[in-house]
């Protein structure tokens, strides 16, 4: 067995009504919190008011920064960091964008540095305490050290993660996910599924991360369609919430791979949902990657309940594609890149950007620029 390293210090608070605990938890970290959230939905759903209420009850003041856009940009982080300088902690509340922005805002503010310098390759020495409140079941940001930022000039999307960028505590309250519309449920749920799949096949996978990844995939295969069809199905919502957090723990251990590397340019340039980009690229990604670790993809096929008895491991591995195709079709995500607005002339830029991604290195099969181009072209139509 290969040597491995495992560390994840995030305190997870899972369960319906766990939002109520936020005040008592936040009290540990000081008297004033910067709440980082998106522009509308947390206000509309009433979650923001409830959160501020729980904080105030516990004697914690709340400043609100509700300027986070989908795919948060450097200037958003800088704006938030100025407000965070007057606070003791940062609380991200929302989907991946809000939670990722909270992590970045806390580091930039604590170290009084520019966003660009986060990419210098040096570990920042520390950060402010960050709490995360997940309101979608997808990103897993509540359970890992990673965050993704978009350069507003070049539209390049890059993931970062440091030893210090873990949240200190996270709330996963499935009740907050009930208001997600079906399309968001599908896109975020698929993001979590591919976190499971990619971290499982990753060159950096670990035996502990693989356990999380397998259970995350199993839960999503069995519950995504239910949550998609009936948002009030709390059993399905709970299982999806757990799956997303487990998948977050899985990528914290094993990272994502080539699928995320090829997707980031798509959602960076076109502002499409990350999960939709992953769905469109997933089948060509799997066709390319399967030959390098057929036994792992054969396991994925078995999770889907595909008939693999008597097949060679290569044949069984290919059945995982059938499973993914069926899952995508069930939640209306059997879409190609063309439907998401990608034009062939954009592919050169996408190839260039994807080939610079660190996530190329974790893929079990090396992809040349020609391979990348081929994946994009095949993904144009589902």
User: Which residue lies nearest Fe ion, judged by its C-beta?
Assistant: 191
Residue nearer to Fe ion on the CB measure, 191 or 252: 191
- Contact assessment for residue 36 and residue 93, using Cβ atoms and an 8 Å cutoff: yes
Beta strand segments in 154-302, E: 157-161, 169-172
- Within 8 A by CB and 6+ apart from 120, the residues are none
CB of 264 to Fe ion, least distance (A): 9
CB of 57 to Fe ion, least distance (A): 34
CB of 99 to Fe ion, least distance (A): 12
Residue nearer to Fe ion on the CB measure, 156 or 191: 191
Q: Cα-flanking dihedrals φ and ψ of residue 87, to 5°?
A: -120, 165
CB of 313 to Fe ion, least distance (A): 28
CB of 191 to Fe ion, least distance (A): 4
Q: Which of 291, 313, 254 is nearest to 366 (CA)?
A: 291
Residue nearer to Fe ion on the CB measure, 173 or 191: 191
d(CA 375, CA 97): 27
- Contact assessment for residue 136 and residue 275, using Cβ atoms and an 8 Å cutoff: no
Residue nearer to Fe ion on the CB measure, 156 or 306: 156
CA atoms within 13 A on the CB side of 373: 8
Residue nearer to Fe ion on the CB measure, 52 or 251: 251
- The single-letter DSSP state of residue 70 is S
| 154: its two tokens | 């070049």
Residue nearer to Fe ion on the CB measure, 298 or 359: 359
Please give the residue ranges that form the binding site for Fe ion (CB under 5 A): 191
CB of 157 to Fe ion, least distance (A): 11
d(CA 378, CA 150): 26
């Amino acid at each position: 067995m290969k040597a491995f390293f495992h560390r994840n210090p995030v305190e997870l608070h899972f369960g319906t009504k766990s939002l109520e605990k936020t005040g008592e938890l936040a009290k540990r970290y000081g008297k004033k919190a910067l709440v980082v959230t998106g522009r509308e939905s947390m206000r509309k759903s009433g979650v923001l008011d409830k959160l501020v209420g729980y904080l105030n009850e516990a004697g914690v003041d709340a400043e609100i920064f509700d300027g986070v856009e989908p795919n948060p940009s450097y200037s958003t982080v800088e704006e938030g960091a100025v407000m965070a300088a007057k606070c003791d902690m940062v609380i991200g509340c929302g989907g991946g964008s809000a939670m990722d922005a909270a992590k970045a805002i806390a580091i930039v503010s604590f170290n009084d540095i520019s966003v660009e310098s986060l990419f210098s390759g040096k570990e920042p020495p520390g950060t402010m305490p960050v709490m995360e409140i997940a309101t979608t079941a997808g990103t897993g940001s509540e359970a890992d050290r990673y965050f993704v930022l978009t350069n507003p000039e070049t539209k390049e999307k890059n993931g970062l993660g440091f030893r210090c960028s873990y949240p200190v505590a996270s709330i996963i309250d499935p009740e907050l996910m009930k208001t997600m519309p079906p399309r968001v449920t599908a896109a975020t749920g698929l993001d979590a599924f591919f976190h499971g799949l990619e971290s499982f096949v990753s060159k950096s996978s670990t035996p502990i991360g693989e356990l999380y990844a397998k259970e995350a995939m199993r839960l999503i295969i069995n519950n995504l369609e239910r949550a998609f069809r009936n948002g009030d199905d709390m059993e399905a919502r709970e299982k999806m919430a757990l799956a997303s957090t487990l998948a977050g723990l899985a990528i914290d251990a094993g990272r994502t791979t080539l699928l995320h590397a090829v997707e980031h340019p798509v959602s960076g340039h076109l502002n499409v949902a990350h999960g939709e980009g992953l769905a469109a690229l997933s089948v060509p990604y799997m066709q390319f990657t399967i030959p390098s670790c057929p036994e792992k993809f054969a396991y994925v096929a078995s999770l889907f309940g595909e008939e693999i008895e008597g097949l060679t491991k290569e044949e069984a591995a290919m059945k995982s594609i059938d499973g993914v195709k069926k899952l995508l079709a069930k939640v209306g995500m059997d879409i190609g890149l063309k439907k998401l607005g990608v034009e062939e002339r954009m592919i050169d830029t996408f190839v260039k950007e994807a080939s610079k991604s660190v996530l190329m290195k974790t893929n079990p099969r090396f992809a040349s620029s020609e391979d990348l181009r081929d994946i994009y072209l095949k993904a144009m139509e589902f």
